[in-house]
């Protein structure tokens, strides 16, 4: 089974991933700027989760939160970005497969001020220097367009929450 954790940096996704991996005897994979992030990459993870549990600390949705349309690999057919095939259509194609395989998506959130404090404590900046508020708004857009049901998990109001 594949469990996808999505949400802004500093919400507790990685902490939750470690907890779930122990509970479910699952492997953790982090999908970020250094991964392929194209349909074939995501499908390989979906298929690998048919015989073992995998926790994805981010998945395909980050493209729609942090990147412009022309920079999203899901908008490509093969290696060509086409005007007739948007990244949203690429996401829909991928989500049909996710539905077939019973993928679970969990949106991890925390109060905005807690996220900012956690990032400051770690001396981190957000991807593409987006604000926490903009990231949350972008995730809300993605969630509304998604075909999957997203479970909500909100971490507490402390730095250790």
What domains sit in the chain, N to C, each tagged with a CATH number? 2-154 (3.40.50.300)
Give the integer Cα–Cα distance in Å for 2 and 17: 12
* Residues 122-134 pLDDT 10s: 998 777 778 999 9
pTM score of the predicted model: 0.89
Structure confidence at residue 153 (pLDDT): 94
Higher pLDDT, 151 or 81: 151
> Do 42 and 60 form a contact (C-beta atoms < 8 A)?
yes
Q: Across all residues in the chain, what is the average pLDDT?
A: 89
**pLDDT of residue 32 exceeding 80:** yes
132-145 and 112-121 helices, crossing angle to 10°: 120
CB atoms within 10 A of CB 145: 13
Structure confidence at residue 84 (pLDDT): 56
* Residues 52-102 pLDDT 10s: 999 999 999 998 998 888 788 787 665 555 555 688 888 999 999 999 999
Structure confidence at residue 77 (pLDDT): 61
CB atoms within 10 A of CB 113: 10
């Amino acid at each position: 089974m594949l469990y996808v954790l999505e949400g802004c940096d500093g919400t507790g996704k990685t902490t939750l991933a470690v907890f779930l991996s122990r509970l479910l005897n699952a492997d953790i994979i982090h999908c970020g700027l250094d991964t392929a992030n194209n349909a074939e990459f995501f499908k390989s993870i979906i298929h690998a989760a048919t015989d073992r549990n995998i926790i994805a600390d981010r998945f395909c949705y980050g493209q729609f939160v942090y990147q412009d349309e022309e920079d999203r690999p899901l908008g490509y057919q093969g290696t060509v970005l086409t005007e007739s095939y948007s990244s949203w259509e690429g996401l829909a194609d991928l989500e049909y497969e996710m539905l077939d395989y019973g993928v679970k998506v969990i949106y991890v959130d925390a109060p905005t001020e807690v996220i900012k404090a956690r990032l400051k404590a770690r001396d981190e900046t957000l991807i593409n220097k987006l604000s926490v508020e903009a990231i949350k708004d972008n995730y809300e857009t993605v969630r509304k367009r998604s075909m999957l049901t997203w479970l909500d998990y909100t971490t507490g109001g402390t730095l250790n929450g």
